[in-house]
Amino acid sequence: MLNVGLTGGIGAGKSEVTRLLGSYGATVVDADRIAREVVEPGTPGLAAVVAEFGPDVLRADGTLDRPRLGAIVFADADRLKALNAIVHPLVAERSAALQQAAGPDAIVVHDVPLLTENGLAPRYDLIVVVDAAPATQLDRLVRQRGMAEPEARSRMAAQAAREERLAIADLVIDNDGPLADLEPQVRKVWEQLRARAAVAGE
């Protein structure tokens, strides 16, 4: 089994890279998706979030009001730490279970947005970073996701600097250009991962 940590700043295009790798045969462990699952209604995770942040972070139907919670934590580093202290252990536990179920010959790609920030690089056999210039990230967040520019900038500022991510990278996918330029790069990285997995399995 080859364990790969995949990360990149918000708006860098990590989701598309993850989708492509999954289509080639990688077992994808998506930390963001798991983070949503562990705070669904009825979970201990949601109960812990409500205990920490109050019932105002719930919608009328009992689900988590993500925009409201996001507005709180992305404006206050201490509140973000408090949220991460609840969610991250739950995500790590679920990720480990999915990895274990993947099988000995699998290439397991862990899509981890905050890999750099949380010092998680040592957990993986190698790190792939999806890279884009901050100006490109900002443009995508505002134009494609409809974020207000101040919110986009605060979300980017809450993450590691581009240089910090690149410093831990074993492989870098440059996603500063159009989508058409991305697939050939991801295919090349996939071939490198397969070669690495073959050597590891010998």
Q: Return the domain boundaries, the chain.
A: 1-26+106-202, 33-103
- pTM metric for this prediction: 0.80
Structure confidence at residue 200 (pLDDT): 77
**Confidence (pLDDT) at 87:** 94
Give me the pLDDT at residue 179, please.
83
Q: How far, in Å, CA of 173 to CA of 14, rounded?
A: 9
Give residue 99's pLDDT: 86
DSSP state of 160: P
- The pLDDT value recorded for residue 103 is 83
Q: What pLDDT, on the 0 to 100 scale, is given for residue 202?
A: 63
Cβ neighbours for 36, distance < 8 A, ≥ 6 positions apart:
none
**1-26+106-202: CATH topology:** Rossmann fold (3.40.50)
Decide if 164 contacts 41 (C-beta within 8 A).
Answer: no
Residue bearing tokens 């590691």: 160
CB 112 within 8 A of CB 120: yes
Q: Cβ contacts of residue 174 below 8 Å, gap of 6+?
A: 131, 132, 185
Residue 147: per-residue pLDDT: 92
Q: What is the full per-residue pLDDT of the chain (202 aa) written as tens digits?
A: 999 999 999 999 999 999 999 999 999 999 889 999 999 999 999 999 999 999 999 999 999 999 999 999 988 989 999 999 999 899 989 988 988 898 888 999 999 888 999 899 999 999 999 999 999 999 999 998 999 999 999 989 989 999 999 999 999 999 998 888 999 999 999 999 999 998 876 6
Closest CA to 113 of 3, 21, 1, 13: 13
